[in-house]
């Protein structure tokens, strides 16, 4: 199986739907280095509870943690379309742990530089919140 590497020449300047499909592919392939190039430094992820993960590095750390817990998790998309400047994705999270997997919607925004600047998740049922799951990664250490 050949591995598809991030190519800045095809990412920047391509349309938002193509970039969104590539984003899903990179998340499913756990291509964190490629993702780092496609996310704005001040990227914001809003989970199903509306809680934010602020910053590219914090989001990538959260994704690593999530994928370590559910190693076989994959995003499957049914529809990807653009509406009023946002890209909307309808699909589901698949994996062996049903607590983390469900029907899902995502809203994605790109900045003027074509980097992903915001993603918001909406999931069916009361699925596990990524921000709560990974809160320990963003806590300030307490002085001893």
Residue 101, both tokens: 């997997």
Q: What is the pLDDT of residues 35-86, one digit of tens each?
A: 999 999 999 999 888 889 999 999 999 999 989 988 999 999 999 988 888 9
Distance CA 28, CA 22 (A): 10
In this predicted structure, the answer to whether residue 143 has a pLDDT above a threshold of 80 is no
Q: C-alpha angle 114/116/5, rounded to 5°?
A: 85
- Distance between terminal CA atoms of the chain? 50
Q: How confident is the model at residue 142 (pLDDT cuts 50, 70, 90)?
A: low
In this predicted structure, the answer to whether residue 136 has a pLDDT above a threshold of 90 is no
Architecture of domain 8-136: Roll (3.10)
Stretch 126-137: mean pLDDT, rounded? 58
Q: What is the pLDDT of residues 111-130, one digit of tens each?
A: 999 899 999 999 876 555 66
Q: What's the pLDDT at 56?
A: 96
- 27, 28, 57: which is closest to 44 by C-alpha? 57
Q: What's the pLDDT at 85?
A: 84
Q: C-alpha angle 4/23/11, rounded to 5°?
A: 70
Write down the domain spans for the chain: 8-136
Q: Counting beta carbons within 10 angstroms of the beta carbon of residue 136, is it exposed (0 to 12), middle (13 to 18) or buried (19 or more)?
A: exposed
Provide the 8-state DSSP code for 53.
E
Q: What's the pLDDT at 71?
A: 92
Distance CA 44, CA 42 (A): 6
Q: What is the pLDDT of residues 25-38, one digit of tens each?
A: 999 999 999 999 99
């Amino acid at each position: 199986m050949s591995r598809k590497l991030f190519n800045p020449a095809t990412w920047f300047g391509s349309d938002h739907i193509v970039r969104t499909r590539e984003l899903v592919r990179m998340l499913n392939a756990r291509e964190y280095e490629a993702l780092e190039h496609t996310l704005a430094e001040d990227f914001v992820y809003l989970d199903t509870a509306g809680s934010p993960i602020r910053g590219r590095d914090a989001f990538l750390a959260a994704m690593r943690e999530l994928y370590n817990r559910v190693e076989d998790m994959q995003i499957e998309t049914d529809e990807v379309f653009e509406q009023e400047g946002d890209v909307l994705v309808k699909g589901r999270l698949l994996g062996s742990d049903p607590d983390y997997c469900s029907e899902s919607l995502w809203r994605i925004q790109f900045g003027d530089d074509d980097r992903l600047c915001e993603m918001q998740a909406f999931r069916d049922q009361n699925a596990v919140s990524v921000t709560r799951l990974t809160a320990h990664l963003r806590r300030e250490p307490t002085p001893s």
